Structure 1
Amino acid sequence: MEYILSGLPMDAINFVIIIVALFYSYIRSNFPIHMLQLEGYDNNEYKTFLKNNKDKMNKLVYKMEKNPKTPLVWTDRAKRLLKKHKQVNFVIFVIIVIMSSIIHLRTGSLLFGGLASLILSFLVYFYQYRILILSNKLAKPKEDRINMGFYKQAQAKIKKFKEEENLKVLGITGSFGKTSVKFISDTILSEGLRVKNTPSSFNTPMGLSKIINNELERDREVFIAELGAKVPGEIHEVAELVQPDIGIITAIGPTHMHLFKTIENIQKTKYELIEDLPEDGIAIFNYDNDYVKPLADKTKKKTYRYGIKDIEKLDVYADKIEVTENGSNFMLHIKKVGSIMCETKLLGVHNISNLLAAATAAYVLGLSLEKIASGIKKVEPVEHRLSLIPSSNGTIVIDDAFNSNPVGFRAALDVLREFKEHRKIIITPGMVELGDMEITENEKIGEVMADVVDFAILVGKKRTMPIYEGMTKKGFDKNKIYQVSSLNEATTVLAQISHAGDVVLFENDLPDNYNEE
């Protein structure tokens, strides 16, 4: 091989072209790697992103966000992927060298060889985002081996702590509400137990393995694990890792519909948590949710139902509910135990449902009514989930920027409706990841918005057109709807139209891979 290559002439200009193209290809890789990381290193999800963002990707120079919401993190996996990607690029450029040299030899023209090298090098530079798919595919076997090692280590640690220290594991899943219930449960359970919670939205096997391996200590009495999934089977994988004793299904609705396709698939996937509970495990269900109710009714294991409807069928429920712009008061009832008045800083009726889920788990784990009520009073709003944030201009800002869905969006509008004496402004890019339902659901939410808000700032002119149409269908004043291209433009418009005392709802903040330029 060396002898063959040594016989291929390589002129200085061709060499410079290859080196420059190789260098800039490495630089150009960062943006696609960032997008792939946001898609969880899933090639299929990344391909869908490429299909939906042709204008963003087919550029000579990518427009990088100065302050992205989720910046590229050079984790060990990202570094290994970059290394593999460099190797793939190097091999491709070696092939280009050979091809251009062969063209030079056969034509006897440096010009043809140089042109071939220039054109091929440019194509490699331009299509870095597609070459990355190959690099990621080649890197996957090694990543799977590394991940399995961490997974087995964490699984063994949980099993050991359960056997030797009587550790209890609380697993929480659902289409929405699971992160809120996780943080609420942490606060309430900490009134009487030593708890280890997981940060942010850590709900994948690798995220949970990292926390278990590095942070779970022997003296913890309860480990709280949020279980996420985008396709059937993924809850099983996480449940086999954390080995839950108690499982909560918070709610089921149309989220990630582009992946699940049907509500039935979502129901089946979330129910994997209940199937993986031990025979003496305890299943907790939100009985107010129409898609969760049949799952509760078919469960043979010890079951607790919570909610605010169908009280005669519930084990834990709330009544005497008073919802204001500052929080809520309600009477908490646990059948066979008693009742207690509770107050919370959390906004909206839907958050009472989240509190009931955590209260049920606390009761199961042995906390008294008094400690549960004390914990409920201490619960703080979860970041980006209907939390009030300070404002310097006298407006009241409600941050509900976490990924939105039809149920959560309506709940946020219900909260906004409680501010009866204030002008109401919403800033939103609408809802995504709803599959074939996306246009219809955004139009429906536009109709609801028309009855609640005074001004609407819609981020993303093409994406939010269904919301615009829904609002105007209900007779909303078009002059009070502003369609902008970015969040920066939205805040500029907000500064122009808002006054002290206005309530501003930020509803859904799309990740960088959804941003519309």
Structure 2
Amino acid sequence: MIAFTAAEIAEITSGRLDADPGITPLSVVTDSREATPGSLYVAKPGEQADGHDFIAAAFEAGAVLAMVERPLAGPDGTPYPSVVVTDAVLAMGALAAEAVRRIRAIRAEAGEDLTVVGITGSAGKTTTKDLLAGIFSAQGKTVAPRGSYNGEVGVPLTVFQAGADTRYLVIEMGATGIGHIRYLVEMVKPDIGVVLGVGTAHAGEFGGVENIARAKGELVEGLAATGTAIINLDDDRVAAMRGRTTAAVLGFSAEGRPDAAVQALNADTNGGGNPEFDLLLPGADTTHHVSSRLIGAHHMGNLLAAAAAAFAAGVPGTDIAAGLSSQAAASRWRMERTERADGVTIINDAYNANPESMRAALRTLADLGQGRRTWAVLGAMLELGEDTIREHTAVGTQVVRLNISRLVVVGREARALYVSAIQEGSWGDECIFTETADEAYELLNAELQPGDLVLFKSSNSVGLRHLGDRIALPPQTPQPADERSSLL
């Protein structure tokens, strides 16, 4: 972390200093449970709890300074050392922006670069971030988000992990409204911006897919003319963003678009469902073979996006191909494969879900399940707005048309998926609806057989990733229902 004194923090955030001006925090946390000796604790209000209520715990754990929206005193009446700001989250952003500026300045003075890469898209951000971070890590000190830290709080927390020795800073950028990505771009000023795709995730919040495209395009709009926009030419809405940036444009395509500078030639998946292809990069006389350890043909675009961004950052093609070939999924619940000792295979892809990623996961299940009994355990796709019933209906129809052996639909929010599968011709025990994850667990625990292949997929807050974890364990005798709590 770049060092800031309490006095500097107050100046940068336009806050009021109620502390020794020389206090210099060693880290920044927003969760009192993560505070360590030397931490700056940011007491931000949240949806479920107010961080101000945990300031005592943060200082007991070793915090030396707090960023607060109202001053607070300890049990003895002594005020906690604090910087009082109007908005703690915006203050974090201002501090993060200054941290990036200082890192650039320090490295420039030493004749070295800091390359900042921003990644956005309706699906694939975390996988692409992990791939790119893996490639960069072999080249120099790299900082990337934990999990899916991609919002107005997560991005600053990622920045605070960087220091003067950081060569690459990879930032994942999410949004639930117009202007959110623009705010993050202004904060970190990326040199390279990657737009993966415009899907229907969060369509209800955005007010439609066109607004999603408008929001995602804020990344390329915010790039400097000296930067590079990495554009997915297989997505028409993303391809149209070429006219929204003054930066150089580097297009990629997994579908053979002739105007794409980065392509996957001779693309296929092997027997394990892993993508394989010959990577074509700009100006290269030869291709580089990539044999990925990720599962599913839908990752082809993520692999190419990471390759294009690494190329734009100056990484040699041989190193890019080696990095792509060596990496499995680094973040949990993204096509995470578990082989049980009894021969049952679990694919847990339930970190998140939207219609595009749901269709891709089901196609992968069907491809991998040739000659096996396949199970799709599906929960709701949230935040689809007025398209909710239509999109769930389409998924139910797809399950039947892909000849997936068994469908288990969990939770009332996904019931339209179950109904559409029945209407498409799935009868009897081929299609089951359960109210809770516990009911689904009992069914699966009783009926799974050696050789079965099981996919779990739902939006994050539905919680099927936890059901997938339970099923990935060795088979157990079902317990009475009152001894377990529902995961939903």
Deviation at 1:341, TM superposition (A): 1.0
Partner residue in 2 for 1:182: 129
Q: Which residue of 1 aligns with 2:173?
A: 227
Q: Distance in 2 between matches of 1:377 and 1:310?
A: 21
Structure-1 separation of matches of 2:341 and 2:242: 47
> Given that residues 422 and 431 in structure 2 are in contact (C-alpha distance below 8 angstroms), is that contact kept between their aligned partners in structure 1?
no
Which of 153, 163, 170 matches 1:217? 163
CA contact (8 A) 2:106 2:164 kept: no
In 2, the alpha carbon distance for the partners of 1:78 and 1:425 equals 45
Q: Partner of 1:465 in structure 2?
A: 415
Q: Partner of 2:14 in structure 1? A: none
Cα distance in structure 2, aligned partners of 1:143 and 1:387 = 42
Post-superposition offset of 1:509:
5.0
Choose from 403, 407, 418 the match for 1:456: 407
Indicate yes or no: 2:197 matched with 1:247: no
CA distance in 2, matches of 1:192, 1:513: 37
Q: Secondary structure at the match of 1:320?
A: strand
Q: Please, what TM-score do these two structures have when normalized by structure 2?
A: 0.75
CA distance in 2, matches of 1:484, 1:366: 51
CA contact 1:169–1:243 (8 Å) conserved in 2: yes
Corresponding residue of 1:35: none
| 1:329 match | 276
Deviations 1:8-44 (A, max 9, x none): xxxxxxxxxxxxxxxxxxxxxxxxxxxxxxxx967xx
Matched residues in 1 for 2:220 and 2:343: separation?
A: 47
Q: Which one is further off, 253-262 or 383-392?
A: 383-392
SS in 1 for 2:287: strand
Normalising by structure 1, we get a TM-score of 0.71
Within the alignment, does 1:201 sit opposite 2:148 as a pair?
A: yes
**AA partner of residue 235 (structure 1):** I
Please state if 1:386 is matched with 2:335: yes
Instruction: State the distance in 2 between where 1:330 and 1:233 align.
Output: 37
Shift, 1:497, TM fit: 2.0
SS in 1 for 2:258: helix
Q: Distance in 2 between matches of 1:459 and 1:224?
A: 36
Query: Shift of residue 368 of structure 1?
Result: 1.2
Whichever residue aligns with residue 203 of structure 2, its letter is M
C-alpha contact (below 8 Å) 1:485/1:516 kept by paired residues:
no
Task: Determine the structure 1 residue equivalent to 2:302.
Answer: 354
Would the aligned equivalents of 1:205 and 1:241 in 2 still touch at CA under 8 Å?
no
Distance 1:481 1:305 in 2: 42
Q: Secondary structure at the match of 1:511?
A: helix
Return the alpha-carbon distance in structure 2 between the equivalents of residues 416 and 400 of structure 1: 11
- CA drift of 1:296 comes to 2.5
Quote the RMSD (CA, aligned, Å): 2.4
Counterpart residue type for residue 406 of structure 2: F
| Post-superposition offset of 1:262 | 1.3
Q: Deviations over 1:298-323 (max 9, x none)?
A: 54420000012243110101021121
C-alpha distance in structure 2 between counterparts of 1:443 and 1:293, whole Å:
29
Which structure: greater helix fraction? 1
1:508 matched to 2:458? The reply is yes
What is the match of residue 15 of structure 1?
A: none
Change (3 A) 1:81 1:194: closer
Long gaps (5+) in structure 2: 1-43, 58-83, 108-112, 465-485
Deviates further, 472-481 or 494-503: 472-481
The amino acid that maps onto 2:242 is: A
Code of the residue aligned with 1:252 in structure 2: it is V
1:355, distance to aligned residue in structure 2 (A): 0.6
Aligned-residue offset at 1:80: 6.9
Aligned AA (2:51): D
Deviations 1:427-449 (A, max 9, x none): 11131110000100000010001
Q: Tell me, in whole angstroms, the C-alpha distance in 2 between the residues paired with 1:243 and 1:316.
A: 24
Aligned-residue identity in percent: 26
Larger radius of gyration: 1
Q: Which residue of 2 aligns with 1:482?
A: 432
Mapping 1:112-511, distance limit 5 Å? 144-165=86-107, 166-213=113-160, 215-326=161-272, 327-337=274-284, 338-381=286-329, 382-419=331-368, 420-452=370-402, 453-460=404-411, 462-508=412-458, 510-511=460-461
